[in-house]
Structures are given as structure tokens and as C-alpha cells.
Structure 1
């Protein structure tokens, strides 16, 4: 059953007879379906800088991962694992009436997108700075950055966040780890994504699942197009991880994103939208 409100819709699914998982999403545009998955601690509004360009050519479905954004936490009996994510999103695709959509993901969302491709649930996959191609020291470094952002978001009073967001320097202090050009982000967006990081009930469980050394090991059918984009200024998952993709996904297309950070949609919306549209042809 799908319930629609004025601004946000919610889809409810019970994959494989498990308890119900609920996810918030927005849906707009026309054309072939294109599902957008954000990274850990973020929310679907991360895609706002490219949404208009994408929805002019695709039916865009931007989703809050369970336990993030407006999506409530998963039931305790459903772990925050990649296997569960594939089951949940496959059920969501069916409930939303989209058969093997194009899927685009950033960071954690990119890793989920790749696993959905391996399961044959997508028409194409575009992954922007996907997790799962790290060495152990690189993973530890990335998790330290993310944990520091979470801790800062929870310690700073909302009034202080609002005050910092009013200046380019303040926005850099709040979001400079994920954006190369944080000053381009609006004060309202920075306040909202800091709140999303602070309030995400799925953050610790998701990070804990990743501490088990999650690596993507390939297995994507060659008839599913794969595009990997990596920002040259990514300070969370450093860009040297990008070329490793070819070892496990030989048919993947690697795209360099000059001047882009870990969440590249904000740093160069035109370039990122073009990469996504090209990857989902």
C-alpha cells in the first residue's frame, strides 16, 4: 500500500514475509524510472541539485533509505545489511510498479545499487563514490570522518547550526567533509542535512554492519550497464579507490568528476546529471 501526502509519499513493504519496512520518497518527471539512493547520514534531498535536469528525461524516484531522512528505522528483526537492502528495495520496486529501474547511488547508496545490479533488479547502475572498494585503513579513515560528522551534528545546538549556515565559512565547517564547494549549498539545505545526520536512527546500525569489512566482489551481469563516477576532491572515499572497480566489474565505465567531493551532485550538478543520464540510456 502506498500513501501519498502533499510533499512526501510513503511506501510500505514486507519483504519475504518479514515485518513491514516503510520508506519515504518523492516521485516526479516522465520517462524510464530512475531511482536515487543517498549515502549514510544523508537524505533524499542530496539529489535536489540534479533533480530538475533528471526529471526532464526520466521518472525520478528519490528515496530516503530506511532509518534515514523521513524514513523510520527498520524493525529490529531486519538487520541493516546489504542482503536485507536488496530484499527491501526489490519489494519497493514491485510495490511502486517499476520493473528493473535504472538505479543511481552515492556512497552507501552506490554500494546498494551495485548489489541490486548483481541481483538483476536494475536496468543500469550508476554509482558515485560507492563504498566497498576500500582497503581496511581507508575504511577506518572514512568511518572516522562519518562518526565525527555524526558526533558534531548531535553536539551542536540547532540554533548554532542555523547561525553557522548563514555564512560560507560556517557551511564549510558543517559540510566541508562531503562537499568540495560547500558554499554553494543553501543555508536551509545545510540545516536540514545536519538535522538528518543528527536524527538518523539507522546510522549506528548501518555503520556497525560496515565494520565487518564489506567489500563489493563483483558478479554483475555484463548486459547491465555500470557507470562509476568519482570526484577528484573526495575526502571521504579517496579517488584512488575508483580504478579498483575494474578488477571486479571489468565492463564498468569509469568517469572522473573534476572538482567534486564525496557528494558530487552539489559541486557540479550539470556534470553529474549528464553522467547519470548517459549511464541510464
Structure 2
């Protein structure tokens, strides 16, 4: 698939939306539309390097820095020195790294990855979960979205992404299957995660930050999946707990996620468009 054009809509405060591992900008479609429709925000949601519809990785050893460099380059092309950065899972990890580079007016991390030191049970548990999902990805690659019609396959597909059993819509699940089975960064990022530490220096964050935790998150389950963030984030960071939703809440409760992002951006913006905090 040729690189797809990022979602880019609206006018106002600049917001960058970053997707999870194995996914694409598609997971942000509804939230991006809702934010843009307020006429207060200019929303940019790209697909990251190595993911379906994103740029190809320039190297097999795909480090997080490559993902961050690409997003920085895209922001530069838009003329955005800074923006309100929102990331889910892997996108949350990239969001923290962008904040460290001074590119974030505010930071919203939704069920972020990277919450571990160099060696931790949480890191190895996370990698093991994705490795165990490998056979399902191979089957889905062979069958495509038709795999969702196989008895039990829909529930298997919803477990890692949603809280309730019914999960996202059929069209959203089909898009997830298509993205996951065409993610060339699958092995690259798992190897990178095993070899490298997670996020460091969280206590030195300079931008207003909110951490969003999802009650039914089966990728980073509470408490062990987010203990690192709760321990190391600055005391002034806002922690929001969402009931009943899974790892990718934009697909289950887009209205709630839109409101959460919009309120946080509004709280840390001035009428002139300059972030405060």
C-alpha cells in the first residue's frame, strides 16, 4: 500500500494524534472529526513509520527515535514548532519523547507504552503477549477481514482492544485486522523493546501532562501495567481513569475521548493560541 495521506482537519489549536502499535491513523477518525468540528482545533493524525500506510522504515533496527524523528519532520512541514500531543499505547511513548524534545504544548498519554526500566516483568509480559498473537496475525493475513466471521474470532480480536465483549464496530475491527496484518514494524519494534529500556526521566516533564488509564486494558492491566508511570510522573500530572473501556478507547467511547482531549487543551491554552501551564 502506498503511504496514505494523514488526517488533517480543522483550524485552531494544533493537536497531533498518535496511534498504537499495529494500528494506523484510522483509530482516530471519529475523534479527529469531532475535535475539528468544534472549530477550535487543527487536528493532524499521521500513520507512523513501519505501520500500514505509513512511511517505510529506513532500517531494520527500528528504534523509537525513528518514529519520533518522522513526527517531528511532519510537524516542521506544517510549520508547527509545538503542538498538543496525544498518544495511545506506542503513540503515547512517542508523545513522551516528543515532549522531551520540547515539541509539546501539552501531553495526553492514553494507556501509554514504555512504562518500564531496562529489565522488568511488565516489559517481558507485554512482548510475550504480542508474540503469542503472532499465529492469529498469520491467520488473519491469509483470510483478511473474513477471519472475523470464524466462530470465536471476533471475541479474540476484541480482547486486546476493548472492554466489553461486543467491542468496536465491524468496520473498525476490519480496519484493525487490515492494519495489524500489514504492519512491517511488528518484529522490529518487539526486538527493539526487548533490547532497550522504556521511558526515562519522566519526573522532568515540562509540559502539562495527563495520564489516561483504562479500566479494562488487557495490554497494560492495572495495577502492574501502569505502576511505573504513577510512580515516576511529576506530582502535578493529571491522572484520569476511564471505566469500562479497553486499550484503544477511541473506538469504544470516541465522544468521551474527544471531550477529555478538548477540555485539557482548553485548560492550558490562551485565547491567542499560546499554551499556558
| TM-score in terms of structure 1 length | 0.83
- Superposition RMSD on alpha carbons, in Å? 2.5
Once the two structures are superposed, the pairs formed by residues 73-222 of structure 1 within 5 Å of their partners are: 73-76=56-59, 79-134=61-116, 136-156=120-140, 159=143, 161-162=145-146, 164=148, 170-181=153-164, 183-219=166-202
Distance 2:165 2:31 in 1: 16
Which residue is equivalent to 1:15? Answer: none
Distance 2:262 2:54 in 1: 27
Which residue is equivalent to 1:12? Answer: none
Kindly tell me: are residues 120 and 220 of structure 1, through their superposed partners in 2, closer, same or farther at Cα, counting changes over 3 Å? Answer: farther
Kindly tell me: are residues 95 and 157 of structure 1, through their superposed partners in 2, closer, same or farther at Cα, counting changes over 3 Å? Answer: closer
Once the two structures are superposed, the pairs formed by residues 264-275 of structure 1 within 5 Å of their partners are: 264-275=249-260
2:226 counterpart SS class: helix
Distance 2:229 2:247 in 1: 17
Q: Which moved more, 1:184-193 or 1:195-204?
A: 184-193
Which residue is equivalent to 2:221? Answer: 238
* 2:7 paired residue among 13, 26, 42: 26
Kindly tell me: are residues 160 and 254 of structure 1, through their superposed partners in 2, closer, same or farther at Cα, counting changes over 3 Å? Answer: same
Mapped pair 1:41 → 2:6: no
Distance 1:122 1:38 in 2: 16
Q: Which runs of 5+ in 1 are unaligned?
A: 10-24
Q: Which runs of 5+ in 2 are unaligned?
A: 267-277
Q: Would you say how many aligned residue pairs link Structure 1 and Structure 2? A: 259
| TM-score in terms of structure 2 length | 0.84
Kindly tell me: are residues 228 and 159 of structure 1, through their superposed partners in 2, closer, same or farther at Cα, counting changes over 3 Å? Answer: same
Distance 2:157 2:209 in 1: 32
Distance 1:279 1:190 in 2: 29
Q: Is the 8 A contact 2:13 2:41 kept in 1?
A: yes
* 1:260 paired residue among 234, 239, 245: 245
Distance 1:30 1:42 in 2: 26
2:108 counterpart SS class: strand
Kindly tell me: are residues 236 and 246 of structure 1, through their superposed partners in 2, closer, same or farther at Cα, counting changes over 3 Å? Answer: closer
